[in-house]
Each structure stands twice: as structure tokens, then as C-alpha cells.
Amino acid sequence: MKRTRMVLVKWVDSNVLHGWQYGEYPAELALCETLGFLINEDDQKLVVAQTISKVGANMGVTIIAKGND
């Protein structure tokens, strides 16, 4: 099995408020943490898998956008 580095990625995502909203309300972003195996990384994104198999299959893949600096 290919050695894959385990990572903890802290990132910010969109958030949604359910139901009717009146007046002012908290407009907070969702603060997220993803722990898993780093499958791929480029200038735009990280690809992290929750589970990897001995034959190279990945499960629970999360694609996390990098910020635009």
C-alpha cells in the first residue's frame, strides 16, 4: 500500500440559517476541521480521503478549496 500522509485541515465554509429570519441575525461562517489522508493537492484545492484501501480505492473524499490570495 502506498504511504499517504495524514493531515488535519482547518477551513471555512458557507453556512445556512433555517427558517424565517427577522431583523439582524448572526452571519457566521462555518469553521470546519477535516482529518484524513491527503490524496492530492494543487494551487486550487486539497483532496482528503477518510478511508484508503490496500488496492488504492478511496472513500469519504472531501475536496477543500484553497483561499484566493
- Which pLDDT belongs to residue 69? 61
pLDDT digit string (tens) for 26-65? 778 999 999 999 999 999 999 999 999 999 899 999 999 9
**Residue that wins the pLDDT comparison between 55 and 68:** 55
Q: How far is CA 31 from CA 14, 28, 60, in A?
A: 9, 9, 19
pLDDT of 21 higher than 70: yes
Measured between alpha carbons, how far is 68 from 39 in angstroms, rounded to an integer? 21
- Which pLDDT belongs to residue 4? 83
